[in-house]
Structure 1
């Protein structure tokens, strides 16, 4: 007899033909040509005795993105831009920073070498001022050139962890075995180079916080009920964590669940995995998991399980602003159960961390809550 998890996996496999696949990265030749076109525009302006201007798509405006249920938040093809002028005091430094990083990327791609964003920062700390500046400009260039960041040969230091029924090979030939042990595996900085993925996992479980992830790891959750894969981005996920979940979804065709705190922050983290973020909307096709399901902790679980009042925390003013913002997101029209859960949180004005389940019993999360959710379909 099929469990709800088995039925879900069957539906996912049957519908995989309609699933948008990750777009291939740009070739080195295409990236070099795109950079050369930018430089040609600058040279042309100078030859006309005009101050060069770079028009960078604005990654900070919601009116620059559109929502597609099968992909998530995508940057509009006619999005507004930010003009970075070479003759303006407020933007001349950024103009120089962009040109410097463009030159670094050009040499990396041309020589088929890779560098981290940290490496780029240390090449000219005085010019960049901070690591955050480099991080932002690399993403701006990726958007400007319409090239995935991995095609720019720029890698980011990863913070995510992975464990469970999974083996794969990294680009340099290193074989990685993620089977549960006392320590998880740090995600690769080059997710696109991963190949030969082998797994008999029944599902992928995204865990919001490292503390909960470690608890599940210590209690050998990956093999107790079903073989599975667990991954955490340690809060708001970095690009590598999102790329890895998407890669597993594309290759293995298994359900993906999110286990997050029952608070506006946790819900937004789940939404980033499922539908993407505003700042990275230009790469939605390779980062989002449109079929992701909200496993818990649900606001309705708090009431249903009668979680002790001492484990609940009142919503702050900031929480209420975030919740109101989430309730206005366009994806809620296709997720009425999500809307009910958020409306319940808005009504009760309380939130709870996953760890609040420990007030019922120390092992309640791994021995009761998750097994019942997965066996009987307690997700939304």
Structure 2
């Protein structure tokens, strides 16, 4: 736990007593009125006092950690950046019905006189308030990158393959995206797969969903999904599929250090197949983005790679 005297990088003096007391007062009023606010809301409550958003973020996290309660118990919500789509309906706390399989795009017609691809729904800012979840999904696919997520939407992946749910935290996931994955796992009891770049950064993002992050370790029990499986892109896929060499990227010194650090993490000792993939990356000294599969064929990811992986069990 960071002490409340933690020094924010953008605030060399660290948080002041006035800043801490102000946020405690806001939290008290939120709980008393049974209302919620985002960190961004709190910052704009008094921008001159706080100086930066990072100051607010740090103090809120410290208070949560000090009191040993989840941040949402303080009635403070994170601003969402995640997106979700697929065979999923649920009710928000305020009674709003959310259908992740429908949008205004469904009824619009594109230039080819076909239904336009579905658009995604922003991940809820209050996952605890979600109820009446209905889904026939066979699995959940966590997608590392927004660009890949949008490609799956454009190709109508969830409809063509089988009923499923796709979600992205747009890189390193925010708390709400992680909570949503956990909520789906607890409620639907279906497989959870991860589609990330075959590089140390992608592996670390996948580990955040599965094992948690250092910063939020005190909330790991409610944020992690131990059953997450690595669907792709696997380092062994690069050789097996003969991905063209000009689509591969040499590992940097930073990549190599990150990979070494990941292999030393205690929780990976229970994942020998993950270790083998990472060791293969160390040996070949190359990495690849999911988009590298386009070098084999423009629709290879959605028409061949993912269907075959899911059909024949190509995950670790």
Output the TM-score relative to the length of structure 2.
0.91
In the TM superposition, what is the alpha-carbon distance from 1:224 to its structure 2 partner? Answer: 1.5
In the TM superposition, what is the alpha-carbon distance from 1:182 to its structure 2 partner? Answer: 2.9
2-structure distance, mates of 1:141, 1:164: 36
Q: Does 1:167 align with 2:89?
A: yes
In the TM superposition, what is the alpha-carbon distance from 1:175 to its structure 2 partner? Answer: 0.5
In the TM superposition, what is the alpha-carbon distance from 1:112 to its structure 2 partner? Answer: 1.3
Q: Does 1:265 align with 2:187?
A: no
Higher Rg: 1
Partner of 1:278: 214
Partner of 1:144: 66
Q: Does 1:191 align with 2:148?
A: no
Q: Does 1:220 align with 2:156?
A: yes
Match of 1:325 among 258, 261, 268: 261
Q: Indicate how the Cα distance of structure 1 residues 355 and 93 shifts in structure 2: closer, same or farther if over 3 A, else same.
A: closer
Q: SS where residue 212 of structure 1 aligns?
A: helix
1-structure distance, mates of 2:152, 2:4: 48
- Contact 2:15/2:55 (CA < 8 Å) preserved in 1? no
Q: Does 1:84 align with 2:20?
A: no
- Contact 2:4/2:15 (CA < 8 Å) preserved in 1? no
Q: Which runs of 5+ in 2 are unaligned?
A: 7-11, 103-116
Q: Does 1:341 align with 2:277?
A: yes
- Contact 2:235/2:278 (CA < 8 Å) preserved in 1? yes
Q: SS where residue 182 of structure 1 aligns?
A: coil
In the TM superposition, what is the alpha-carbon distance from 1:120 to its structure 2 partner? Answer: 0.7
1-structure distance, mates of 2:239, 2:31: 55
Partner of 1:182: 118
Give the root-mean-square deviation of aligned CA atoms: 1.4
Q: SS where residue 132 of structure 2 aligns?
A: strand
Q: Indicate how the Cα distance of structure 1 residues 93 and 274 shifts in structure 2: closer, same or farther if over 3 A, else same.
A: closer
- Contact 1:202/1:228 (CA < 8 Å) preserved in 2? yes
2-structure distance, mates of 1:93, 1:151: 22
- Contact 1:84/1:91 (CA < 8 Å) preserved in 2? no
Q: Indicate how the Cα distance of structure 1 residues 297 and 100 shifts in structure 2: closer, same or farther if over 3 A, else same.
A: same
Match of 1:309 among 242, 245, 249: 245
> Residues 178-220 of structure 1: CA distance to partner in whole angstroms, max 9, x if unpaired?
1164311111111111100000000000000000001111111
In the TM superposition, what is the alpha-carbon distance from 1:96 to its structure 2 partner? Answer: 2.9
Partner of 1:376: 312
Q: How many residue pairs end up in the alignment?
A: 297
2-structure distance, mates of 1:93, 1:361: 53
2-structure distance, mates of 1:347, 1:318: 16
2-structure distance, mates of 1:95, 1:316: 43
- Contact 2:85/2:100 (CA < 8 Å) preserved in 1? yes
Q: Indicate how the Cα distance of structure 1 residues 125 and 301 shifts in structure 2: closer, same or farther if over 3 A, else same.
A: same
- Contact 1:84/1:95 (CA < 8 Å) preserved in 2? no
2-structure distance, mates of 1:374, 1:92: 49
Partner of 1:125: 47
Q: SS where residue 279 of structure 2 aligns?
A: helix
- Contact 1:295/1:379 (CA < 8 Å) preserved in 2? yes
Partner of 1:61: none
Mean Cα deviation higher: 229-238 or 367-376:
367-376
Partner of 1:64: none
Matches within 5 A, 1:100-119: 100-119=22-41
Q: SS where residue 231 of structure 1 aligns?
A: strand
Partner of 2:57: 135
- Contact 2:101/2:118 (CA < 8 Å) preserved in 1? no
